[in-house]
Amino acid sequence: MLNVTGALLPRWGAHYRARSFNRELVVSSIILGLVFIVGGLSGTLALIGTNSGTALAVVGVLLVGRGIWRIRKQRARQVQAL
């Protein structure tokens, strides 16, 4: 199998692969998910292509869930490392 990441990012490709957790991205994922939930349920925002606020709220719940899961996964790794 071809290592595309190493070929495209020769200088910092290894650093990028080793770092699987970025706290800023997780927090922004949770915040964006909360905005989707509030906007979708209030009727202010809608999911593109469906014009449905409820569908956008579901996407928001998935984003928040993914962010929480990634935080818990990282904390579990830190506890195991101790």
* Per-residue pLDDT reduced to its tens digit, 26-72: 889 999 999 999 999 999 999 999 999 999 999 999 999 999 999 99
- Position 13 in a domain: no
- Domain with 52, as residue range(s), is 22-81
- Position 45 in a domain: yes
pTM (2 d.p.): 0.69
Looking at residue 44, what DSSP letter applies?
S
Q: Tell me the C-alpha distance between 35 and 51, whole Å.
A: 16
Q: Tell me the C-alpha distance between 55 and 73, whole Å.
A: 27
- Give the count of domains, the chain: 1
Give 29's contacts (C-beta < 8 A, 6+ positions apart): 63, 64, 66, 67, 70
- Position 1 in a domain: no
**52 φ/ψ angles, rounded to the nearest 5 degrees:** -120, 125
- Position 38 in a domain: yes
- Position 65 in a domain: yes
- Position 54 in a domain: yes
